[in-house]
Amino acid sequence: MWLVRPAQPQDIEGIMKLAAEHCSQLSSTVPKTREGLEARIELSSNSFSGALGPDQCQRFLFVLVDSRDQQVQGVAGIDGRAGNGQPFYNYRMDALIHSSHELGVSRRVDVLYPSHALTGRTLLGAFVIAPGLCDSDAFELLSRARLVFIASHRDWFSDDMAVEIQGIQTEHGEVPFWDSLGRHFFDMDFETADRYSGMLSKTFIAELMPPNPIYVTLLSGAAQQALGQAHPATRRSVSLLQQEGFHGGSYVDIFDGGPVLEVRTSNLKTLVTCQRKSLRASDAEDGEQCLLACGQGADFRCTLAGISESLNEVIRAPLSVLHGLGCESGEDVMVAPL
């Protein structure tokens, strides 16, 4: 049985192994060092416990585990507020019209403006999953369990959400957008800059990036083609997010030029369809597959289960599901259809 729960200190080895083996294609905000991961899990634990309020740098880290052996097979995160108390930088895509009445010339020129307008939005991130599960229901469970958590703790999160999708990167690790723009100001490779952005205050971005608009025509051809494009390996994630209601806007990632998707939190499909029900045990092993979650804060657990509907806001699931979730018969749960 697949289970999504808050990350715990005993998960560190499993997370590090997963990140080391499966982050070659896609970057992630999951810390790569033991010290960084220990600090991240401690911050996550304080966030889940409620010790940190919505305006106190809440960062939640979830793991996908097999309930039989608790081996970590995936990681996913939520930042309660993008920027975590610091400006959250992106580029905003816009256009200028350059014209000369005397010459009879008028030209539309695409421009990138440095922006931190998305600061304070709830941000999804830190998504890593074992490649063998990319086409499985466990992928959807890990992605959407975060949204069920948001539905269960609505007042912890903002009214608008965003998610940065990784941009184009070649098989040799080259990032066209970064190589054409950011590298000239940061004097470091993409991987190092991306790692710093997940570890340090974002002020280093404001200190090093040019404050003026960037004319897209001055970028390399490869960078222009990559602008606003998602890495092919993110296709499944993007599809699920779009099904939830996320849509592309005018913002791109400041490092790799990947798209930033946005949504009004109340419009998320999972939040719209999620219902609170009373869970009872059943002998039947089949039923409609749904996301099923119980517990608040650090006790949150979410799985996929076949359920059957009963009267009076009651649903039934196999006893093994109740045991896996650690909940009692008659306990309230959150249910969302696949």
User: Which tokens belong to 50?
Assistant: 């409620």
User: Which tokens belong to 66?
Assistant: 């097999």
Measured in degrees and rounded to the nearest 5, phi and psi for residue 7 equal -65, 145
Cα–Cα distance for residue pair 8/298, rounded to 1 Å: 10
Burial of 3 (0-12, 13-18, 19+ CB in 10 A): buried
Residues forming a β-bridge with 302? 4, 293
Active site residue 247: no
Cα–Cα distance for residue pair 13/19, rounded to 1 Å: 10
* 116, 231, 247, 323: the active-site residue: 231
CA distances (Å), 330 to each of 196, 279, 295, in order?
47, 5, 13
**CA dihedral (260, 262, 265, 269) positive or negative:** negative
* Chain position carrying tokens 């097999």: 66
Those residues whose C-beta lies under 8 Å from the C-beta of residue 271, and which sit 6 or more positions away, are 147, 150, 151, 154, 265
Cα–Cα distance for residue pair 270/46, rounded to 1 Å: 25
**Active-site annotation, residues:** 231
